[in-house]
Structure 1
């Protein structure tokens, strides 16, 4: 069913949420636009200004790494100033009420933990841009010191003490998906009775397959997204209203 207006959408959401015991949110970039973080694909999105740098190019080219770090530091203020939006807060309310065993997200912005969801209950399929790791030994690095050295050393891309390449803890095109995160996401989807796909275009695989796992396992599926998705025909409810407006009634303080 496609909700015809906001009131219908909220009523349908309330019925499905009230009936569910285990709710798993699956979130994409659309939930964070209210927080001031641009998405990737839409007009004005990040990829309309800069071509994504594939993983193999990042590893092979010091200039590609240099450009990737320039871009990351150029948008640092955007990430640093962002606060959870109404969608994040509503999902965190359901989590605190014991209705959500875990949140699966494609986002890299760290807003779900800021909203009150415990980090160990968040599955980050595409990583996290608020810190960096060594691709060889896994050592974690905070971005502040990296930026200081980058600016002082003539924009020399950082390397690890072990000699490995340091990269933001995100998953780039061509980079292997994190196996543990994918396994956890699949387990959550298989065991839930309601999956809320919020703000995802559902075109980036294999992450996009998570909602279908829930549906095939017997769960109800809700898609909340401004634009149509290829999965709308499988959903029990499709909401094309503003995400914050649709989820605001579920915020509990």
Structure 2
């Protein structure tokens, strides 16, 4: 990280588990329990979650210049709440605090969950841009829907510039997000994977750590004296 000029980190549900948000394929993950015929033990409300140590660690690494862009499939908005600037994160699956005008495409970030309460994901609010009265929709990408073009394109461009790729807390099984890391490591740049479960990229990794995100990031901060 000290030698790299453009570090891109890809994060998934594993970063938010210590914020009391379940992941998908961990021991208590959503898909794991579903395959066993079990239910989640309690109700989890995303809008009640607060940034974990992992989120804050990533924000610290970004502020110190060690991480240059975050690509996330999480919708909890915790990276932005922890201090990552909006223009330096690509949220591929949306953000529960973000709504978008269906006319001028302006984004609005709120302090509350904006998930659509009306038909077709409309939030019931109108655009606040001068001269536009378009309807606002939530930004969440549902199954079968295309990823937001602007977010995906930004993630692609940042991925192509990366000279170090870090995959953190995600199995990277969902396309097209799982294609993005290949833009860097297939050119010979290092790939670091930190995830408790196996990923399809394990054989390509320069460094592979089967560790919890918070613990591993803690060691990284200590080593960098942050």
Q: TM-score with structure 2 length normalisation?
A: 0.76
Report the equivalent of 2:97: 130
| CA distance in 1: counterparts of 2:196 and 2:113, whole angstroms | 38
Per-residue deviation, 1:173: 1.3
Shift of 1:31: 0.8
Which of 19, 35, 42 does residue 19 from structure 2 map onto?
35
Deviation at 1:100, TM superposition (A): 2.1
Cα distance in 2 for residues equivalent to 1:145 and 1:111: 12
Report 1 or 2 for greater relative contact order, CA contacts < 8 Å, sequence distance ≥ 6: 1
* Cα displacement string for residues 57-101 of structure 1 (whole angstroms, at most 9, x for unaligned residues): xxxxxxxxxxxxxxxxx75xx323322222222221221112222
For the residues of structure 2 that align with 1:145 and 1:245, how far apart are their CA atoms?
A: 29
Deviations for 1:24-50, whole angstroms, at most 9, x for unmatched residues? Answer: 111111111111111234454446789
Distance between the aligned counterparts of 2:67 and 2:113, measured in 1?
36
Seen in structure 2, the aligned counterparts of structure 1 residues 166 and 173 have a Cα distance that, compared at 3 Å, is: farther
Partner of 2:190: 220
What is the aligned partner in structure 2 of residue 21 from structure 1?
5
> In the alignment, which residue of structure 1 is the partner of 2:173?
203
Tell me, yes or no, if structure 1 residue 242 matches structure 2 residue 212. Answer: yes
Q: Is the 8 A contact 1:190 1:217 kept in 2?
A: no
Question: 1:48/1:218 Cα in 2 relative to 1: closer, same or farther (>3 Å)?
Answer: closer
Q: How many residues align?
A: 206
Aligned to 1:87: 54
Which structure: larger Rg?
Answer: 1
Question: What does residue range 73-84 of structure 1 map to in structure 2 within 5 Å?
Answer: 75=44, 78-84=45-51
For structure 2, the 5+ residue unaligned runs are 35-42, 128-132
The answer as to whether partners of 2:124 and 2:136 remain within 8 angstroms in 1 is yes
Match of 2:148 in 1: 178
Root-mean-square deviation (Å): 3.2
Gaps of 5+ in 1: 1-16, 51-73
Equivalent position of 2:75 in the other structure: 108
- Cα contact 1:30–1:225 (8 A) shared by 2: yes
C-alpha contact 2:193 2:208 (8 A) present in aligned 1: yes
Tell me: CA distance 1:221–1:135, structure 2 relative to 1, closer, same or farther (3 Å).
same
TM-score (norm 1): 0.69
Quick check: 2:126–2:135 contact (8 Å CA) kept in 1?
no
Q: Check whether the contact 1:131–1:143 (CA below 8 A) recurs between aligned residues.
A: no
